[in-house]
Amino acid sequence: MKRRLSLALVATLLAGCGQQAAPTAAPGTGALPVDAAAVAAERGLTADDVYAAVSTYQPSGRMDDYILFSSGGQAGQVFVIGVPSMRILRTIAVFAPEPWQGYGFGDETTEVLRGGDMPDGTELNWGDTHHPNLSETNGEYDGEFLFINDKANARLAVIDLRDFETKQIIKNPNSLSDHGGSFVTPNTEYVVEGPQYATPIGWEYAPVEEYNDKYRDLITFWKFDRVAGRVDEGQSFQIELPPYWQDLCDAGKAVSDGWMFCNSINTELATGGVEDGNPPFEAGTTQNDTDYLHVINWKKAAELVAAGKAEDINGIQVLPLDVAASEGVLYFVPEPKSPHGSDVTPNGAYIVVGGKLDPHVTIYSFEKIQTAIASGGLETDPYGVPVIPLDAAKEAQVELGLGPLHTVYDDQGYAYTTLFLDSAVARWTLGGEYADKHPEEPWTLVQKLPVQYNVGHLTAAEGDTMSPDGKYLVAMSKWSIDRFNNVGPLKPQNFQLIDIGNTGEHMRVLYDLPIGIGEPHYAQIIKADKLKALEVYPEVGWNPDTWSVDPNAVLDAKDARVERNGNNVEIWMTVIRSHFTPERIEINQGDHVIWHLTNLERTPDATHGFALGGYNINLSLEPGEARTVEFDATQPGTFIYYCTEFCSALHLEMLGYFLVKP
């Protein structure tokens, strides 16, 4: 039996889960035109389900309020997702070749990708991306750039959000492993690449028995040139750290601007070697009850580097550990236990560290840290670094449950911490100036929401800024087990959208999004209207790397041509619906080919592909874009180039012959 659903019925459904009544009808809309209640009943949806559905559904053509940028994990890219609909809008190729974007298949994008190769030329064609970070101005996301790290090879990438494309990849010249990156300082003065597993500087060979003396970690401060849109390697510097495996870092802001805070996980200096009778890594690194929160004065470090206190190692200035320890750059504070996550509160007053093997989060006061530093008389660790006693720096500890990891914030004075072992998100109250924002006691657990399953990071709307929005939180779970149709033993990760704004009293899960490619670690959510991406490139013949009209762009099909100079053949080609000009190119085997292509389109979305079968060449030419491919015509034969985007009714006819005479 079908019933017509009125708004009153929706109100009844929603009232069933303790919600406020549904909004009343907009003038003139009357009863809903579809029998939604019957559909809900037929599908067995609860009132909570209906609430979740109406909270996330976007009618066709309606835009999302927020955009989430997620790491693509070991797939090496970035995912762009709308919130609250959780629709995947695109991927951004970063550390791995990606054919849809024509990334890494012959044109200038290949040079960007190759910019991150090993110093000896070994090609790196994947990355383990962990932490995307949006550029900031005055501690707020400004929507201009996105940075992301590659943990596997210690690399950093710069993405320009005018066209959502990767512009630069840098191989760290002295580190092979990173993790605490890519976090920015409040005005994106620096993009910070924090280290992880220690090696000798420059990953030179040294026996592991020499670990304490020869192995080091390095935190890198990449100077960002906002006008150029690139990292300026010459103005960047590193600070040498003990081989304690620094883990996650976060930049201070407001009162703590100029400082950086990183947790660490191996102050035991474990070196593994279970085969030689040593404790295995996971036991060796968890002997101590505390590791060290690293408190780093990066402004002071930059001054010391400018004053000549650093040394050039492989082309970058490195501030030695003894200088950092003695000149007030580096301090330690004990942190329980084998921690993970170090997250500064929006006002910059506190640093929250997740205990991982301790059921608490520990909250450090920046003011107390400064008082302890000013009082002096601190003992030092074996590397000479001053250690601030935990009790002198601690503001509070909050017991949350098993496996606390990462923390984000909202606009109501709540903090949210993931509990890996409990598979839950904990909401708890901040104290200090936040105490008046919520009715509960400061520094107390308020609610635990189960999530599915083994949650790692979480991210909240504008959650890393000085003014978080609240509203939405996304829990990024490692396991999905029973949440989706079985697709075999390799299961997707699960992003769960959580309502933290509209419910007043409790959090609830609104939507599950399976991520079936790569294991995302971290993500950030920005207000959609802060992004100012282009519809088409500014002018015909635009080179996205130089951000100007390319000197080899062809602005009119009548200028398309082929020129020969000895064994060099240079082609200037135009591309428009539905033909390439020229359509026949005949050259000799062994010729060196330089092929310039210009997409003459000005219509949004009128992208043409350019595939040259047999030569591993594949481009994506967005409206106005100019690209150049260079290769040697080693294979004789009859080859075809064609457009890979179904761009018009005569798309299939958009091709040409590339004849290579033996």
Give the C-alpha separation, 103 to 111, whole Å. 10
* 173 near ligand CUK, judged by CB under 6 A: no
Interface pick for ligand CUK out of 14, 113, 248, 400 (rule CB under 6 A): 248
**456 interacts with, out of ligand CUA, ligand CUK, none, CB within 5 to 8 A per kind:** ligand CUK
Nearest to ligand CUA of 302, 647 (CB atom):
647
DSSP state of 63: P
CA distances from 313 to 157, 220, 319, 325, 440 (A): 21, 13, 10, 19, 52
Nearest to ligand CUA of 91, 607 (CB atom):
607
Spatial CB neighbours of 428, under 8 Å, sequence gap ≥ 6:
361, 398, 400, 414, 415, 416, 417, 443, 444, 445, 446
Give the C-alpha separation, 385 to 217, whole Å. 14
Residue 659's CB is within 10 A of a number of other CB atoms, namely 14
Interface pick for ligand CUA out of 647, 656, 658, 660 (rule CB under 6 A): 647
Question: DSSP alpha helices (H): ranges in 43-93?
Answer: 47-56
Give the C-alpha separation, 68 to 488, whole Å. 28
Interface pick for ligand CUK out of 132, 413, 456, 609 (rule CB under 6 A): 456
Q: Give the position of tokens 């019957």.
A: 38
- Residue 279 buriedness (CB in 10 A; 0-12 / 13-18 / 19+): middle
* 408 near ligand CUA, judged by CB under 6 A: no
Give the C-alpha separation, 250 to 453, whole Å. 26
* 643 near ligand CUA, judged by CB under 6 A: yes
* 155 near ligand CUK, judged by CB under 6 A: no
* 162 near ligand CUK, judged by CB under 6 A: no
**643 interacts with, out of ligand CUK, ligand CUA, none, CB within 5 to 8 A per kind:** ligand CUA
* 427 near ligand CUK, judged by CB under 6 A: no
Residue 566's CB is within 10 A of a number of other CB atoms, namely 7
Write down the least CB distance from residue 73 to ligand CUK, Å: 9
* 570 near ligand CUA, judged by CB under 6 A: no
Interface pick for ligand CUA out of 370, 447, 651, 655 (rule CB under 6 A): 651
| 280-308 burial: b if 16+ Cβ within 10 Å, else e | ebeebbbeeebbbbbbbbbbbbbebbeee
Write down the least CB distance from residue 180 to ligand CUK, Å: 8
**654 interacts with, out of ligand CUA, ligand CUK, none, CB within 5 to 8 A per kind:** ligand CUA
Interface pick for ligand CUK out of 216, 253, 337, 340 (rule CB under 6 A): 340
Q: Are 78 and 71 in contact (CB under 8 A)?
A: yes
**596 interacts with, out of ligand CUK, ligand CUA, none, CB within 5 to 8 A per kind:** none
Give the C-alpha separation, 408 to 427, whole Å. 10
Interface pick for ligand CUK out of 162, 167, 457, 627 (rule CB under 6 A): 457
Beta strand pairing status for 259-264 and 246-251?
antiparallel
* 405 near ligand CUK, judged by CB under 6 A: yes
DSSP state of 635: S
Spatial CB neighbours of 374, under 8 Å, sequence gap ≥ 6:
none
> E strands within 311-463?
311-313, 316-319, 330-335, 340-344, 350-354, 360-365, 379-380, 386-387, 394-399, 404-409, 414-419, 424-429, 445-450, 455-461
Interface pick for ligand CUK out of 13, 78, 93, 131 (rule CB under 6 A): 131
Write down the least CB distance from residue 584 to ligand CUA, Å: 17
φ, ψ for residue 561 (rounded to 5)?
-170, 170
At 492, list the tokens: 């997707």
Write down the least CB distance from residue 555 to ligand CUA, Å: 18
Spatial CB neighbours of 38, under 8 Å, sequence gap ≥ 6:
1, 2, 3, 5
Write down the least CB distance from residue 354 to ligand CUK, Å: 9
Identify any residues that bridge with 344 across adjacent strands, giving them in sequence order: 351
What number of chain residues touch ligand CUA (CB under 6 A)? Answer: 8
Query: Which span (173-181, 380-388, 448-456, 644-652) binds ligand CUA, by CB under 6 A?
Result: 644-652
* 162 near ligand CUA, judged by CB under 6 A: no
575-594 positions binding ligand CUA, by CB under 6 A: 578
* 608 near ligand CUA, judged by CB under 6 A: yes
Q: Are 95 and 66 in contact (CB under 8 A)?
A: no
Interface pick for ligand CUA out of 163, 257, 591, 645 (rule CB under 6 A): 645
* 573 near ligand CUA, judged by CB under 6 A: no
**248 interacts with, out of ligand CUA, ligand CUK, none, CB within 5 to 8 A per kind:** ligand CUK
Q: How many CA atoms lie within 13 A of 301 on its CB side?
A: 31
Nearest to ligand CUK of 136, 343 (CB atom):
343
Write down the least CB distance from residue 580 to ligand CUA, Å: 9
Nearest to ligand CUA of 94, 654 (CB atom):
654
* 434 near ligand CUK, judged by CB under 6 A: no
**Using CB atoms, what's the residue nearest to ligand CUK?**
456
* 253 near ligand CUK, judged by CB under 6 A: no
**657 interacts with, out of ligand CUK, ligand CUA, none, CB within 5 to 8 A per kind:** none
Q: Residue 353: which of 340, 372, 366, 365 has the closest Cα?
A: 340
Give the C-alpha separation, 247 to 197, whole Å. 9
* 600 near ligand CUA, judged by CB under 6 A: no
Give the C-alpha separation, 620 to 609, whole Å. 5
Write down the least CB distance from residue 631 to ligand CUA, Å: 22
* 579 near ligand CUK, judged by CB under 6 A: no
* 522 near ligand CUK, judged by CB under 6 A: yes
Which residues of the shown chain bind ligand CUK in the complex (CB under 6 A)? 130-131, 179, 248, 340, 405-406, 456-457, 521-522
Which residues of the shown chain bind ligand CUA in the complex (CB under 6 A)? 578, 608, 643, 645-647, 651, 654
